Amino acid sequence: MKILITGANGQLGTDLLLRLDKSGAIVIPFDREALDITDARAIARVVGSLKPDAIINCAAYTKVDLAEKERDKAFSVNRDGPALLARTAQGHGAQLIHISTDFVFDGKKSSPYNEDDQTAALNVYGESKLAGEIEIARRMSEYAIIRASWLYGASGANFVKTIIRLASERERLNVVYDQVGAPTSTTDLSDAVIALLQRRFDGTAKSGVYHFSNEGVASWYDFAVAILNEARLHGLSLKCRSIEPILSKDYPTSARRPAYSVLDKTKIKKACGLVIPHWAAALKNTMSALYGKSYA
């Protein structure tokens, strides 16, 4: 199997490469500089010459707050790029797996969102990602979209690294507790992407949208507390002495976030036979990858 990965130097792309290198597949990675997914000619040239069996699109505009000011840029990468990939993949008979987000929902539910629930993004980032999903569905008969939430990993910038950095600089941190979701490890998402790709090729997983996150539920405050507990167990020197829960209204941001964005993972678990780790266990694994196994 020949697999082309876009956004290969990002958090998810990095972990996917590590996993796929052990699979025996021929993996062709492209970072943003090597392949701009908004460049129609470049996409046509690369896919036409390499003829991949599958394309995994990890490329995205992910600056949620900045997207409020850079709407055109967000839509160019998150809508127009996937549309070009879908059209080209369809023309060459390649599978496409595209990564989307829980931010396509407005957070008004109080039970986990399934794939058929009504979408209603609250911010430009979510709107642009939802538009990308729509474009793929319009242009392809066979595809897989995976919506993931609160993504973090050992590489790249993310909430885990930000909390540890801030905790090394400040004695007190304030973190919102009225936004609830599920942190998702890029390692576990990578395994899910590969499992779904395999099931798509053997015909046991249907085309369409899937949800994935680690198991369990947390607020950003819960997640931050767990991060600092793990950091201390690993012997990191932290200045922070307290972490306080605050309301979203007391931490205003340019983009609105859903208050609740827990994803129902029943569909992908059944399709791929997945046993998904709890988010706290996944965090331990990521912290060990970052800082070594310094405790039992």
Which of 61, 125, 177, 260 is catalytic? The answer is 125
Q: Is 295 a catalytic residue?
A: no
Sign of CA dihedral 103, 104, 106, 110: negative
DSSP per-residue letters across the chain: -EEEEESTTSHHHHHHHHHHTTTT-EEEEE-TTT--TT-HHHHHHHHHHH--SEEEE------TTGGGT-HHHHHIIIIIHHHHHHHHHHHHT-EEEEEEEGGGS-S--SS-B-TTSPP--SSHHHHHHHHHHHHHHHH-SS-EEEEE-SEE-SSSS-HHHHHHHHHHH-SEEEEE-S-EE--EEHHHHHHHHHHHHHHHHHT-S-SEEEEE--BS-EEHHHHHHHHHHHHHHTT------EEEEE-GGGS--SS---SB--B--HHHHHHHT--PPBHHHHHHHHHHHHH-----
C-alpha distances (whole Å) from 140 to each of 92, 94, 97, 144 are 11, 10, 11, 10
As annotated, the active-site residues are 125
